[in-house]
Chain A
Amino acid sequence: MSYAYLFKYIIIGDTGVGKSCLLLQFTDKRFQPVHDLTIGVEFGARMITIDGKQIKLQIWDTAGQEAFRSITRSYYRGAAGALLVYDITRRETFNHLTTWLEDARQHSNSNMVIMLIGNKSDLDSRREVKKEEGEAFAREHGLVFMETSARTAANVEEAFINTAKEIYEKIQEGVFDINNEANGIKIGQQATPTNPALPGSGGAGGAVNSGCC
């Protein structure tokens, strides 16, 4: 359970683009087509290995509904990575990307790695947004781009892990100040600290004490 680093991610994008499904596919490796609308924010976590180091990804899956926008914004701060998701079968979700991006850039630290994701790539017959359009948008705004399918799990792993790799590289380059938790990176305790043994040893101590009486 110990990790070298913890990266905080946020997933943002219009409602119904498949943010929660992407998270479920990544953390549980399953697809659940019907689920409740996300209230505020939900969480997921998974351990990955980069460069031989254990990294815990703590993912904040935000509600896409407009009503929650004001509070989800508060969660952007302190994220090291963001997945900005649109639905390739619904053009309006692609059109809203600029607003989402501005919002994200405004409320998070400037070094945050943003990955643009065109989800539902399995529904190619209903495609409204061409892959080239996504690529062009990403190029224009300096994002990494990928098309995924939460249903078939295509590219889901890659999307999360490539983002982590980029964050890791930025740490190596010294771009991120890892000692500032506002950057969304925590340094874990790889070795067991001495303190957690306290309840155990405390219990043993108690036994010794009562043994004296």
Chain B
Amino acid sequence: MANKPNKEDENLNDWNQSDEDDNWDDWGDGDDGDDDDKFVHVEKELQPQNNKAAEEQSNAMGKASAESPAAPPASASSSGWGLWGGKLSSVLSTATEGLGNITTQVNQGLNQIIGVPDPEELARINAAEGPARPTRTEQQTTTEAAAAIEKPEAGGAPAFNLGIVTTLGSKVLNTGLDTLEGIGKKTMNILQENDPKLMNKRKLLGLDANKPNLSAVLLEAKKDADQMEESLQQLQLEKRKAQLRFDVLFENYCGLVHYEALEILSKESRLKLETLLDAVSGHALTELQETIGQVQELLELEDVESNSEGDYTGSELNERLLATITDAELGIKFDDVASHWTQSLSWLSSEEATSADLEQAYAKSINALSEACALEMCKLHKIAELMLVKSHHSTANEVDGIVHLCKQFNGHLQGLSQRYAAVLSSKSDGSGAVDQEECKARVNTYFGEMYSAIEYIKKAYKLFTPILQMGAV
């Protein structure tokens, strides 16, 4: 207690002196700059979280500092003072902001622990933050202006305060302890009113040195919550993306079940062939084995790989597909495959395709690929069924037909993918490098999915072996 008034005295003396000599400025500036750095640092960390609260605080503080009768002494003519005053008030406000932030952050932190706000609300907060920012700077400039205006009036205050101290000091001798207490109280008042900078510095140092920084802890908690929310959103996105996979869509378009049914027929045929081979012997057996071997060889010789650019119309596709298998005389039609291609083509050249974003275009592309493959699988399954119920067979034609049909099917999947991939690639034009990478990655993924589609057709082709062999024997 005894030290404080002394210190205060020294300070006040300093102030007084500097006021007269105009050295004040240097002292204030240097010190202030130092402090400012610290405060700015804190402010920057805290500001984004709670603009509203901070704004209110700064508003209140701005008023308080402006109305304070014990505002720092200043000569109105000095431009440096105006700046200093502004800085001081901002220091004042940031200090209180820090405190205000702690409480609001507790609330916020609790909110985040209890329940992550939904994206809508986040968007709303973000929108609210936008206009809040400029208002804040406005507030600051008005505070600055107010401080500058107040200054001439506040000029005599420190001298007056000093007077009180000195008169009180002489009274001490006469009135003893009571007066000493009065001095203490008064000094404390002056300390708080007149030198808030010191108080704040102490407070800040105390916070930094002794206690764990609550705002830092809360910041950490908020960061964690943000991260969790982000990963949650990521998960949902992934989930939606997971629906846009060939496997899933192929199943949804009934492609997989047609493939499974074809598999059943293939297995059944193999079993029947085995029982047939068990039943015969001698010359008939070798003949049977020869026929089976021949069909196998014919199918294995052929490669069902094919390339295409997708530069044909729906009706052209229909003709091509029909031409492959007419000789097998199954009466199968490819209208649905062809009309699907016609629809795809009309989308590809539509306004919708040009205006769609990458996500929409990809969804469309992967759906088209999956549906085309499912339709083709349905055809192969139907052909297998028709072959199995047919009474007369021309195995050579059937083998030939299946080979060429599978080739055409694969070619069509290639062509379709090429066309859709071209649309996907076009989505990167004119946008940033990141978008280009994203685009490239999507096109790669798309071609990857195309290969799984082609793989299904190839597997189906292999399943035909026992079915065609059944027809031959």
Query: Which of A35-43, A80-88, A123-131, A156-164 binds B?
Result: A35-43
User: Can you list, as one digit per residue, whether each of A196-213 has a CB less than 8 Å from chain B (1) or not (0)?
Assistant: 110111111011001100
* Interface flag for A45 (CB, 8 Å): yes
Shortest C-beta distance, A207 to chain B (Å), equals: 4
Contact A192 B437 (CB under 8 A): no
* Interface flag for B302 (CB, 8 Å): no
Contact A207 B440 (CB under 8 A): yes
- Which of B242, B381, B437 is packed against the most chain A CB atoms within 10 Å? B242
- Which of A1, A202, A203, A204 is packed against the most chain B CB atoms within 10 Å? A203
From B389, B437, B444, A68 is in contact (CB under 8 Å) with B389
Shortest C-beta distance, B366 to chain A (Å), equals: 9
Contact A43 B265 (CB under 8 A): no
Contact B265 A199 (CB under 8 A): no
* Interface flag for B205 (CB, 8 Å): no
If A196-B245, A200-B241 touch, does A75 touch B252 (CB 8 Å cutoff)?
no
Report B266-318 residues with CB < 8 Å from chain A CB.
Answer: 268
Contact B441 A70 (CB under 8 A): no
From A75, A192, A203, A204, B239 is in contact (CB under 8 Å) with A192
A206 CB contacts on chain B under 8 angstroms: 437, 440-441, 444
Contact A197 B238 (CB under 8 A): yes
From A77, A201, A210, B440 is in contact (CB under 8 Å) with A210
Shortest C-beta distance, B274 to chain A (Å), equals: 15
Q: Chain B interface: which size bin?
A: 20 to 34
* Interface flag for B257 (CB, 8 Å): yes
Report A34-64 residues with CB < 8 Å from chain B CB.
Answer: 39-41, 43, 45, 58, 60
B441 CB contacts on chain A under 8 angstroms: 202-204, 206-207
Report A155-213 residues with CB < 8 Å from chain B CB.
Answer: 192, 196-197, 199-204, 206-207, 210-211
Contact B257 A202 (CB under 8 A): no
B258 CB contacts on chain A under 8 angstroms: 43
Q: What is the chain A residue whose CB lies nearest that of B255? A: A43
Q: What is the chain B residue whose CB lies nearest that of A74? A: B268
Contact A43 B444 (CB under 8 A): no
B442 CB contacts on chain A under 8 angstroms: 203
Shortest C-beta distance, B331 to chain A (Å), equals: 10
Report A13-41 residues with CB < 8 Å from chain B CB.
Answer: 39-41
From A58, A70, A75, B389 is in contact (CB under 8 Å) with A70
Contact A192 B238 (CB under 8 A): yes
Contact A45 B254 (CB under 8 A): yes
Report how far A199 CA is from B448 CA in the complex, Å: 9
A71 CB contacts on chain B under 8 angstroms: 265, 268, 385, 388-389
Report how far A40 CA is from B389 CA in the complex, Å: 9
A45 CB contacts on chain B under 8 angstroms: 254
* Interface flag for B13 (CB, 8 Å): no
Shortest C-beta distance, B463 to chain A (Å), equals: 13
Q: List 14 A-B contacts (CB under 8 A).
A: A39-B385, A43-B258, A60-B257, A68-B385, A68-B389, A192-B238, A192-B239, A196-B247, A197-B238, A199-B241, A200-B445, A202-B441, A207-B434, A207-B441
Residues of chain B whose beta carbon lies under 8 Å from any beta carbon of chain A:
238-239, 241-243, 245, 247-248, 252, 254, 257-258, 261, 264-265, 268, 381-382, 385-386, 388-389, 434, 437-438, 440-442, 444-445, 448-449
Starting from the known contacts A200-B238, A201-B238, 15 additional A-B residue pairs (CB-CB under 8 Å) come to A39-B386, A41-B261, A43-B258, A75-B261, A75-B264, A77-B264, A192-B239, A196-B245, A196-B247, A197-B241, A197-B242, A199-B241, A199-B245, A207-B440, A211-B437
